[in-house]
Amino acid sequence: MQLDPKQFKTPEQWRAQLTPQEYHVLREAGTERPFTGEYTDTQTKGTYYCKGCGAKLFTSDTKFESHCGWPSFFMPETDSVRYIEDKSLWQTRTEVRCATCDSHLGHVFTGEGYDTPTDRRYCINSICLVLEPETAR
């Protein structure tokens, strides 16, 4: 069976790697409930990686408090994400996916008035991320 390079695992392989909730969010574009994610309020310094493939996605230097219920970042690592127009629900949004494994991460919003360098809010599901804390030097 020929697999799309962005989806380098079969659904069965993904299900074996991920919990049912992780699979729902990362592979079926689901969403975790607001204010329940592990990284929503964390202020730990470090790097955030994709739970699906381990690709570097965000750093804590770009995380900010938006009080929206999910971790918010103003900028991803260069070329780490890709964007898809999402017309689900009642509006058009921009979905954010891992550029390496095509896992759904969340959405990005612009023009909300946050005091960030990019005026963007990457609203990312905690369940899609793995935080590697900075080591003490």
Q: What are the two backbone dihedrals, phi and then psi, of residue 115, each rounded to the nearest 5 degrees? A: -85, 75
- Condensed to tens digits (0 to 9), the pLDDT of residues 83-105 reads 998 887 677 889 999 999 999 99
Average pLDDT over residues 33-46: 95
Contacts of 53 (CB under 8 A, 6+ apart): 8, 98, 100, 101, 103
Task: Output the six-digit token pair for 45.
Answer: 């310094």
CATH classification at residue 120: 2.170.150.20
Would you place residue 5 in the very low, low, confident or very high pLDDT band (cuts 50, 70, 90)? low
> pTM of whole model > 0.85?
yes
Q: Per-residue pLDDT for 1 more than 90?
A: no
d(Cα 30, Cα 134) in Å, to the nearest integer? 30
**How many structural domains is the chain composed of?**
1
Q: SS3 breakdown of the chain: % helix, strand, coil, rounded to 5?
A: 20, 30, 50
Mean pLDDT of the chain: 91
Q: Is 33 helix (H, G, I), strand (E, B) or coil?
A: coil
Task: Measure the CA–CA gap between 69 and 106, rounded to whole angstroms.
Answer: 12
Note whether 128 and 106 are within 8 A (CB). yes
Asked if 55 and 44 touch (Cβ cutoff 8 Å), the reply is no
Identify the pLDDT of residue 122.
97
**Catalytically annotated residues:** 123
What's the domain range around 39?
A: 5-133
What is the 8-class DSSP label of residue 1? Answer: -
Name the β-bridge partners of 123.
72, 107
